[in-house]
Amino acid sequence: MLATLDAPDREADMSQNAAAPTAGVAPTPVPLRELLPWALFAGVLLLGLFYLVGLDQGATSLVPGSLIHEFVHDGRHLLAFPCH
């Protein structure tokens, strides 16, 4: 195996090509008017998820019973939310 790695024709297998430099293409800026609805949607979604994981229990529960509490119980402990 070592004899094949040290063969004199090993250099012939290597390529001497280099990647040609490309012209610098700047990304097109996204206007704030197009980005704002997506940021607002993501914020509302994250706030809803935050409520379900951390705050949906007891008197403020939107879903009756303890279904959501039990479903996200380990996640509450992982995120350091007190739940009992």
Residue 79 lies in a domain: yes
pLDDT band at residue 24 using 50, 70 and 90 as cut-offs:
confident
Q: Distance of CA 84 to CAs 36, 57, 73, 77, Å?
A: 38, 10, 10, 10
In this prediction, residues 18-46 reach a mean pLDDT of 89
Residue 36 lies in a domain: no
Residue 73 lies in a domain: yes
Mean pLDDT (the chain, rounded): 78
Domain that holds residue 71: 52-84
Residue 60 lies in a domain: yes
Q: What pLDDT shows up at residue 35?
A: 94
In the structure encoding, which two tokens stand for residue 6, read together? Answer: 């040290």
Q: How many domains does the chain have?
A: 1
Residue 47 lies in a domain: no
Distance CA 52, CA 71 (A): 10
